[in-house]
Amino acid sequence: MSFSTVTKNELARVTGQRPCCRLAELAALVKMDGSIQIGRGQVALNIINENAAVARKIFSLVKDVFGLQTEVLVQRKTRLRKNNVYLVRILPWQEMREVLRRLGMIDDGGQLQDAAPVDLVRRVCCRRAYLRGAFLGGGSVNSPSGTYHLEVITGVERLAQDISRMMKKFCLKARVSRRKNWYVVYLKESEQIVNFLSIIGAHSARLKFENTRIYKNMRNQVNRLVNCETANLNKTVDAALRQVDNIVLIRDTVGLSHISESLREAAELRLKYPDASLRELGDMMRPRLGKSGVNHRLRKLEDIAEKVRSGKL
């Protein structure tokens, strides 16, 4: 089961405490998934969703807010994904018209409205409920183990902009982009996604998201440290091999007896302990020498080796 499905199943069990919140959430669900069907001498409002828990919630909200009994149909997709589609239908037109008016879908003249209903989202609690309904109707969130991404998709640009503005009122950096004929409101930062999940009431999903994110960050940090240590170790080994080659060249050509005592001591220790670090070499010298001092002597040895290679010595 995907992380989106788990999140939606949790949100489907969240019920607004106030009637205004339940109305706002239902308005978002109808706005995202609703369509008007005209045919066979009747007009119906169809609300379609692929999640059974969300469909049950729509059914319960319609009954609770409007006291209406609705039809619930189950259809099976034949193309692409062959999962079930759940259709909640409201009949007849007289009742449906009042439902649409109270949900802010049509004005007093019966004209459809693209924007989110301003009167239903004046309160903070109602904005939370509306965003919850928008996510249930057209949202998705990636698993935190992968790329951080949460989005809400709608075919209406004005609605996408309204959802984005609602998110920004909660200090969320929501952006809107176009994807073919759809408008996508999305969040990319993990902190923003966590805050959004908390705002809409998905607290268990938020905890799971944060736990996975913390584990992922710790794993990445460990990997970075290991990579850094490996790189440093490789660098140290390469430097030690180069130093040994330089000293062997000096020994076989010039002779270690012809260089200064301090350089000869560093050369002999490096030949005897090729895997030792600069600090370890310094501790073995008499008197003890720091890393910079040991490095200085080894560089002098390298300069002598370069002169031997170039024929200047």
Who contacts 253 (Cβ-Cβ below 8 Å, separation ≥6)? 308
* CATH code 3.10.28.10 region(s) in the chain: 3-201
Tell me the helices (H) and strands (E) count for the chain, helix number first. 11, 8
Contact 27, 34 (CB under 8 A): no
How many CB atoms within 10 Å of residue 220? 10
pLDDT in tens, the chain (313 residues): 899 999 999 999 998 889 999 999 999 999 999 888 877 667 788 888 989 999 999 999 988 888 887 888 887 766 656 678 888 888 776 777 788 888 888 877 778 788 888 889 999 999 999 999 999 999 999 998 888 999 999 999 999 999 999 999 999 999 999 998 999 999 999 999 999 999 999 999 999 999 988 888 888 888 888 888 888 888 888 888 898 998 999 888 888 888 898 998 988 898 989 888 888 888 998 889 898 998 999 999 999 888 888 887 6
Tokens standing for residue 215: 């584990």
Give the up-direction half-sphere exposure of residue 93: CA atoms within 13 A in the CB hemisphere: 9
Tokens standing for residue 69: 């009994």
Fold of domain 3-201? Endonuclease I-creI (3.10.28)
Query: Phi and psi for 115 in degrees, rounded to 5?
Result: -75, 160
At 174 the three-state DSSP class reads coil
Tokens standing for residue 84: 């079930």
Place of tokens 């999940």: 197
